[in-house]
A and B are shown apart, each in its own frame.
Chain A
Amino acid sequence: MPKLSDSMEEATITRWLKEPGEQFARGEPLAEIDTDKATIVYEAEFDGVLGSILVPEGGTARLGEPIATIGAGAAATSAAAAGMAASVPAAPVTGGTRTIDFRTAIREALDEELERDDRVIFFGEDVAIAGGVFAVTPGLYEKYGEERVFDTPISELALAGAAFGSAVSGLRPVIEIMFGDFLTLAMDSLVNQASKYWFLTQEQVPVPIVIRSVVGAGGRFGAIHSQMPASWLLGVPGIKIACPATPADAKGLLKAAIRDDNPVLFFEHKRLYALEGDVDGEVVPLGSAKLVREGGDLTLVTAMKGVHDALAAADELAGDGIDVEVVDLRTLRPLDRATIAASVEKTSRVVVVEEGPVTGGWAGEVLAVVVEDALGSVDDAWRIATADAPIPYSPPLEDAFLPGPERIAGEIRGRLA
């Protein structure tokens, strides 16, 4: 249900003007909707095919609840997700709770923010016509055109610089650095330009950049396409780091990142792309961790793929009578100190699971927070991370290298025995 007036909370479909299976063109009326203010003709924003009607004539739906599905070209998506926003430009429609995969969540967030704000642009290598090498961004180029969604040369220096320059000149660029390992090339502009400008202009000129990047191991990509570059940039004040574990957080955090006025590095773990989950379209604020499992004996603090490993370990440990709490950090900067400390005060034991080299990693930063904010409550604390070594290629080598559920459960069992 699109937002058709500022005060509406729900509305009634008085008449459907298209039938399921019928094609419609951009600007064509789709339905008559009775809001608290008036009866409004709801028009399509792009060409498509009406799928099934979810709210029949006379039916009422709350704001954001899906009212129909549509097919747009070959890729059928929900009407809400495809941004079938109507006459109120400030409010693209976000659906009610639906189950989608992680990559679709990313695309929906981009789509909705591109729709919501003309200043948002999106560019990177192979992202537009090809739709992304991980097939995350198909359809955006077709929908928004080459002025706003475009392919670039394989030039990360230029990409990051273009993001900086356009951000300080009024646009809100989202760029894709195809693999996080390539961030090394983009770092000069991020570190020496983007993260400094807000400060150097005395907080007068914002730098609204989002850098999306595919990170993480487990895909057999070897030493230079599998790294977790979080700690390379965690030491740079002025750059926020988002690291979602679920489709809902991927969508909600990406929307928050695009609306943020300063640079946000947005990590997408390559082994999460196919993960499905419920998404309600809510924006997730940067800097808020989430308690994803309650328990009384020990706190696991982690992020991204680690959240799923931690939950699997917790399930296993429950069979041994060990009651594990799991905190999903969701952003590494700002770090949600309060949620970490509150959990450790409750359980008195904390393990930080980080996919990344143990030395200089963010797990050490989390333990520093525990020491500073909850020292009196701590009976035990340690890190489970990867060795200080490059990531190997061969499946048995890579699997042994990564901190999976077995290692997490095993270490906890051993330590608590």
Chain B
Amino acid sequence: MSQAAELAGARLEDHDLYVGLYRRMVLIRGFEDLVQSLFLKGDVYGTTHLYSGQEAVATGFASVLEERDRACATYRGHGHALALGVDPQKLLDEMLGRATGINGGRAGSMNVNSPADRLIGCFGIVGGSIAAATGVALALRRTGGVAVAYFGDGAVNQGYFFECLNFCQVLKLPVVFVCENNGYGEYTPFEVVTAGPIRARAEAMQAPAETVDGMSVWEVRAAAARAVAHARAGAGPAFVEAITYRFVGHSRSDPGRYRPEGELDRWRRRDPLVVLRGRLESEGVAGGRLDEVERGVAQELEAMRERGLAAPWPEPAPSPEFAP
């Protein structure tokens, strides 16, 4: 069944595929809950930016990417890493600062990279992922690959957004711009600091642009397929704005008190995990099968927590490349 038919209210094309995506989204949510609890105990350091609530965006996009494609994510990047297939244990160990971390403890939450998993990196400067993806696309156009730049609504007010979108359009680079509009740039509602609709900025540069429900993984997946196809065809960048919501504050120190009363509750009713589960059950997937997915992930995470806390610390060692 086609993705267009799905959107028209028909059944999901492949229940096994979507149960797999459900598992991935449950893993991301559980991973973030685990990181938060470890943070509160003092086992994760510095700061963290959690992806809870936005799981459908990274999961939907990753589900259409090929081996030759690459992604550049933000400092809110745990979900993108897991969606692309980064080993969750290695990702957790990185948060814990251990030698067994995906980057040996050098990167931490905000700077994770795993090129072998197609994740060029998570970038700690707002808009940095867009710059990186622009260059990645210069290389990928030799192989037919597509670079995906994930960024938030706050990044559309950075110079990187305008410069790189124009740069990619005039050079016809295969980049998909994915704006995850979660309503807030750090603590400030995006409407307060953003002139006009976000999508219009991409339309002004004649990039195909659409806005999708970022809480619906099948709608994200369909939009991702269209955008990736455009970029892969050599027609230049495509733009997708996914409307989503983070269920947590900007970072670990932010309780999110700036949110109007009831807003979080309203969005929680559209929790992407609940939305997908409801759809699958309504199409006849047994609730027990989905319960089993959730139990399996919970057990996996508990085992990861224990292994992570027992993992060795890295040894300080000089890096010869950085001699003066």
Using CB atoms and an 8 Å cutoff, list the residues of chain A in contact with chain B: 121, 150, 152-153, 155, 157-171, 173, 185, 188-189, 192-193, 196-205, 237-238, 262, 333-335
Contacts and interface: CB of A to CB of B under 8 A. Distances in A.
Interface string B117-131: 000110111001011
B136 interface: yes
A240 to B, nearest CB: 10
Given A165-B134, A192-B125, A153 B113 contact: no
Contact of B111 (A170, A173, A196, A198): A196
B121 A197 contact: yes
Interface in B75-104: 103-104
B163 interface: yes
A360 to B, nearest CB: 16
A202 B159 CA distance: 30
Contacts of B106: 199-200, 202
A168 B322 contact: no
B103 A162 contact: no
21 contacts: A121-B138, A155-B163, A155-B167, A162-B134, A162-B167, A164-B131, A165-B131, A165-B136, A166-B136, A169-B120, A169-B139, A171-B138, A173-B135, A189-B132, A199-B106, A199-B319, A199-B321, A201-B103, A238-B322, A262-B321, A334-B324
B164 A158 contact: yes
B137 to A, nearest CB: 7
B3 interface: no
B134 A161 contact: yes
Nearest to A162: B135
A189 B139 contact: no
B115 A205 contact: yes
Contact of A193 (B123, B137, B166): B123
Interface of B: 70, 72, 103-104, 106-107, 111, 113, 115, 120-121, 123-125, 128, 130-140, 147, 159-160, 163-164, 166-167, 170-171, 319, 321-324
Contacts of A334: 323-324
Contacts of B136: 165-166, 168-169
B201 to A, nearest CB: 15
A203 B320 CA distance: 10
A158 B131 contact: yes
Contacts of B160: 157-158, 161
A239 to B, nearest CB: 10
A150 B171 contact: yes
A362 to B, nearest CB: 11
A59 B324 CA distance: 48
Nearest first, the 9 A-B pairs at minimum CB distance are A165-B135, A161-B131, A169-B139, A155-B163, A158-B163, A165-B136, A162-B135, A158-B167, A166-B138
Contact of B135 (A161, A196, A199, A237): A161
A204 B319 CA distance: 13
Contact of A161 (B111, B140, B164, B323): B164
B163 A201 contact: no
Chain B binding surface SS class: helix
A157 B324 contact: no
A160 B139 contact: no
Given A166-B135, A200-B103, 15 more contacts: A152-B171, A153-B163, A153-B166, A158-B160, A165-B72, A166-B139, A169-B136, A188-B128, A189-B132, A196-B111, A199-B106, A199-B322, A200-B106, A200-B113, A237-B322
Given A169-B70, A192-B124, A152 B138 contact: no
A14 to B, nearest CB: 40
Contacts of B323: 334
Contacts of A237: 322, 324
A30 B131 CA distance: 46
Given A164-B131, A169-B70, A203-B319, A197 B139 contact: no
A175 B62 CA distance: 32
Nearest to B168: A158
A157 B120 contact: no
Contacts of A197: 113, 121
Nearest to A189: B131
Contacts of A164: 131-132, 135
For A152, A158, A204, A205, the residue with the greatest tally of chain B CB atoms inside 10 Å of its CB is A158
A160 B107 contact: no
A69 to B, nearest CB: 35
A127 B5 CA distance: 49
B132 A157 contact: no
Contacts of B121: 197, 200
Contacts of B166: 153, 155, 158
Given A157-B163, A161-B160, A200 B135 contact: no
A201 B107 CA distance: 8
A411 to B, nearest CB: 28
A170 B107 contact: no
Contacts of A198: 321
B167 A201 contact: no
A162 B160 CA distance: 11
B134 A168 contact: no
Contacts of B322: 199, 237-238
Nearest to A171: B139
For A155, A165, A185, the residue with the greatest tally of chain B CB atoms inside 10 Å of its CB is A165
Contacts of B164: 155, 157-158, 161-162
A120 to B, nearest CB: 12
A199 B171 CA distance: 31
Contacts of A153: 163, 166-167, 170
A333 B103 contact: no
A160 B164 CA distance: 10
B324 to A, nearest CB: 6
B125 A161 contact: no
Nearest to B171: A150
A152 B70 CA distance: 23
Nearest to A198: B321
Contacts of B113: 197, 200-201, 205
Nearest to A146: B171
Given A188-B125, A200-B113, A201-B113, A162 B131 contact: yes
Nearest to B175: A165
Contacts of B128: 161, 188-189, 192-193
A163 B132 CA distance: 8
Contacts of A333: 324
B51 to A, nearest CB: 20
Contacts of B319: 199, 203
A203 B321 contact: yes
Contacts of B125: 188, 192
Given A162-B134, A163-B135, A164-B131, A152 B324 contact: no
Contacts of A201: 103, 113, 115
